[in-house]
Structure formats: C-alpha cells, structure tokens
Chains A and B, each alone.
Chain A
Amino acid sequence: MTFDARQFFVRMARALNEGDVATLSVMVHPEVVSDFPQSGERLRGIAAFLAQIEEYPGGPPENADLPPATVLGDEERWAITPAYTVVPLAGANKYTVITRAVYPDGSKWHVVCIVELRDELLYRSENFFAPDFEPPEWRREFAEIVARE
C-alpha cells in the first residue's frame, strides 16, 4: 500500500489534540527530535516526545469541531517529465503542517510545524504556536475579515 503523507499528518494532528499516546507511539520515529524555537526547547527521542503529551497540565484539551490539518508539500512531490511520465520526487520528506489546537483555558491557537519523515514515521519537527488576535483598528480599511475556524 502506498504511504499517504497527508493522511498520516491528519491522523497525527488528531492524536496530538486528543492526547492519544497509543496512536502517537506507532507514528513517531525512535530518534525523533522535536524543537520549540519560541522557548528554545528540544525534545529528543520518543520517550520525551510522548512524556510531554502525557504530562501536559490539565490533560488533553477539549477539541470540538477542529478543522483537519492542512498539509503542504505532499501534492508537490511529483514531477512530470517532458514525455508526461509522472515520477516521484527525490530528496527529503519535508512538509509544512498547519493545525488548530485548543488549550485547557479554551483559547484556540494555530500550530505550524515543519516536519520531516523517515521510515514513514515522524523524524523531525519544528513547531510554532500562534494565538488568535483581534484585527487592529488601524488596518481595518485595508483588510477583508475572513471567519476563523
């Protein structure tokens, strides 16, 4: 069966949001490295990766109606030769994954992850956490407002 990176990351995002350690434990490479550049933290290895999920203060957040993760990169991993043969892309399995997360206080954040796969498992992850904010008054006249999910 062909590996479907998009489905992989959608499933992983759901497992992260639900604190589903059993599912995550079979999706993460033993040598995973997960970085949080905003705080300078680096989690090295699957034990540390799972521990930070299990020990999250307040437990897994409530996640009603979160949209599925957006995965960028998957559809771009194929090339068309001059003869129109589709060939798989060589090189690193890098993707950008954008998800929404709900925190125990009820706030919703965007989570943007630059991720790399190895052996069809999560191998590297660089994670950025971005809170919602209200559109400022000073640029109201320049912007449309799109409903947030």
Chain B
Amino acid sequence: MANVQDLYRRYANAIASLDFPTLESLVHPDFVLEYPQSGERFRGFAAFKSQLENYPGGLPAAEADDPTSKVVGDDDRWAMSPGYTVLPLSGPERFTSISRVPYPDGTRWWVVSILSVKDDKIAQSETYFAPEFEPPEWRKGMAEIIPRP
C-alpha cells in the first residue's frame, strides 16, 4: 500500500515543477480531475497535462513543501484489532490535502483536494479553490485572528 503522505508530496512537487514524466508515473491510467466550482471534469493524463501546460501566465506553483500543506486521513487509515494487531484499512483509499497556491496576479489561494488512490496511484482528484478574505467587522468580537502564513 502506498504511503499517501509520500505519494501526495511527490504528486504536488511534480505539478509544481511541471515534471510530466514523474507526474504520469504517479497518476492512474483512468485518472479523473474534477473542479466542482466550474463543473469541469478532465479525463485521463493527456487532458490533465494539457490544462497544466496551457495555464495562462504560467501555472501557480503548489507549495508542497509549505509547512501549511497537509494531508488529512493518512493517520486514520489503520485499525487496531481486539488482539492489538494493527491492520491496514480496507475499502477505497481516500484522503484530503490542503495546500496554498500563489497565482500569477500575486494572490494566494487555499487549495483543498479530495484524492482517491487506486493501485498506488492518484486515481481521482476533486479540487476546490478558496481565496483569502479579510475578517468581516461583524465577527470581530467573536473571533481570534491567527496570522496567515
């Protein structure tokens, strides 16, 4: 079973560096990428690669090594049997990644992806793009403000 933390790091780094041979080796032949915000669905590596290569102004670099990047789910994927044997989890391998991406216009966005793994490769990605915003006045009395990285 793939170590999803490691798989995600290599996947994000390959996207950031436009390393297409590495990227192709990490994604499943039936790879599907979805952007639910626009309703777009990209099927297969060729479509995935085309939209990375043709990004206007150059691709925003996913900061895979950014300390704020994280993978949620990997540490939850093991079970303890009554005999204290640690067992790999059955079922589909899914995890959630959170990263930060700078765009060509200088804005920074959060990118949250629900990723599925099949045959130790990234098989599906459902990706959401969330911009920064200023804390609204009406909520100021309720919230602490944490410096954004």
Contacts and interface: CB of A to CB of B under 8 A. Distances in A.
B39 A147 contact: yes
B106 to A, nearest CB: 16
Interface in A42-97: 42-44, 48, 51-52, 55-57, 72-73, 75-81, 85, 87-92, 94, 96
B131 A38 contact: yes
Contact of B128 (A42, A78, A112, A142): A112
Contacts of B41: 143-146
B144 interface: yes
A89 B79 contact: yes
Nearest to B68: A37
A106 interface: no
B3 interface: no
Interface residues of B, number: 55
A133 interface: yes
A59 B38 CA distance: 27
Contacts of A57: 136, 138
B98 A114 contact: yes
A94 B76 contact: yes
B148 A37 contact: yes
A87 B138 contact: no
A42 B133 CA distance: 14
B116 to A, nearest CB: 10
Contacts of A128: 98, 110, 112, 128, 130
Instruction: Tell me which of B88, B90, B92 has the highest count of chain A C-beta atoms within 10 A of its own C-beta.
Output: B90
Interface of A: 35-44, 48, 51-52, 55-57, 72-73, 75-81, 85, 87-92, 94, 96, 98, 110, 112, 114, 126, 128-136, 138-139, 141-148
